[in-house]
Each structure stands twice: as structure tokens, then as C-alpha cells.
């Protein structure tokens, strides 16, 4: 079991000047599996380093905490497509309907992998609002987007 002291030490490392140290601290907080780590990890979503941000997204998915939903939604507009893609994936896994409209907007992303992840997330959420926008992706330029759109439609009987 993790001690409060362990968490406090790792939270301090989240402010370290080296990104590698911050990433390692996030990974260690995941291993401790203590819900008190969620808030400090949410703060890492604002980190200037994309790798730190990415690891924080993964961590929130591991904790399955709905506290991260709104901050994750804000990352759907991040300049880095890997960040948008990871945030969409975790939002789908968390299953919170607040993500539906922002994920629908993400279906128009310029990057195909981001659209794929948005479709998969919306397929998991199963909200009927996504039916028409996902049907439109059956004509997407990217074959994987088309395939994932078809899978989401079948899964949800849309």
C-alpha cells in the first residue's frame, strides 16, 4: 500500500525541470494506484511537454476517474494530433456523455488517426447524436476511418 509520503515525493517530482523525471513520476503514481494522485496528474495535462501530457492522459485512463473528463475534453483541441488522439481514446473508455459533442466535432479533424479514435470513442459511448456524423464518415478519404465508422454503426444498430 502506498504511503502519503510516497505520493507527496512523487507529486513534487511532477514539477521537476526535466520532462523525463515528470514522466517517471506519473508512471510511479499509476503504480501506487492511489486516487489522491488524480488531481496532480490532471495538472500535468497543462505541461508544455507533449510527452508529459501524453503520459498524464494515459494515467487518467488507468485511474478511470471522471474528474479528468473536462480537462481531457479541452485537449481535443490541442495542436498535437497524438494528444488529441489519446484524449479521445481515454474519453471513450471513461464513458462520460459530456464528451459526446466534443468528440463529434473531432470527427472533422485533419488527421485520420484522430478521426479513427473519435469514431471508436463515440462507438463506445453509443449516444444516438453521433449516428448521422458517423454515417457521414462512411465516405471518408481514409479507409480505416470508414471501417471504424462501419463498426460503430453496426455495434450501436445505427
Between residues 132 and 33, which one has the greater pLDDT?
A: 132
Res 2: pLDDT: 54
Residue 42 to residue 35: CA distance in whole angstroms: 12
Task: List pLDDT tens digits, range 64-107.
Answer: 999 999 999 999 999 999 999 999 999 999 999 999 999 999 99
pLDDT at residue 3 tops 80: no
pLDDT at residue 33 tops 80: yes
Q: Could you give the percent of the chain with pLDDT greater than 70?
A: 98
| Mean pLDDT confidence for 133-141 | 98
Task: List pLDDT tens digits, range 35-67.
Answer: 999 999 999 999 999 999 999 999 999 999 999
| SS3 label, residue 104 | helix
| SS3 label, residue 76 | helix
Res 5: pLDDT: 82
Q: Could you give the percent of the chain with pLDDT greater than 90?
A: 94
Angle at 103 between CA 133 and CA 152, to 5 degrees: 55
CB 37 within 8 A of CB 63: yes
Res 4: pLDDT: 77
pTM (predicted TM-score): 0.93
In this prediction, residue 109 has a pLDDT band, given cuts at 50, 70 and 90, of: very high
Closest CA to 90 of 109, 112, 108, 63: 63
Amino acid at each position: 500500500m502506498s504511503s502519503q509520503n510516497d505520493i507527496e515525493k512523487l507529486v513534487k517530482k511532477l514539477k521537476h525541470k526535466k520532462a523525463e523525471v515528470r514522466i517517471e513520476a506519473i508512471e510511479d503514481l499509476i503504480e501506487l494506484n492511489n486516487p489522491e494522485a488524480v488531481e496532480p496528474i490532471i495538472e500535468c495535462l497543462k505541461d508544455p511537454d507533449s510527452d508529459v501530457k501524453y503520459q498524464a492522459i494515459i494515467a487518467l485512463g488507468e485511474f478511470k476517474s471522471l474528474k479528468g473528463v473536462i480537462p481531457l475534453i479541452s485537449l481535443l483541441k490541442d495542436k498535437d494530433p497524438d494528444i488529441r488522439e489519446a484524449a479521445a481514446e481515454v474519453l471513450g473508455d471513461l464513458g462520460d456523455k459530456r464528451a459526446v459533442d466534443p468528440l463529434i466535432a473531432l470527427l472533422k479533424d485533419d488527421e485520420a488517426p484522430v478521426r479513427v479514435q473519435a469514431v471508436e470513442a463515440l462507438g463506445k459511448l453509443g449516444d444516438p447524436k453521433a449516428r448521422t456524423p458517423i454515417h457521414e464518415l462512411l465516405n471518408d478519404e481514409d479507409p480505416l476511418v470508414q471501417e471504424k465508422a462501419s463498426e460503430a454503426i453496426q455495434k450501436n444498430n445505427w
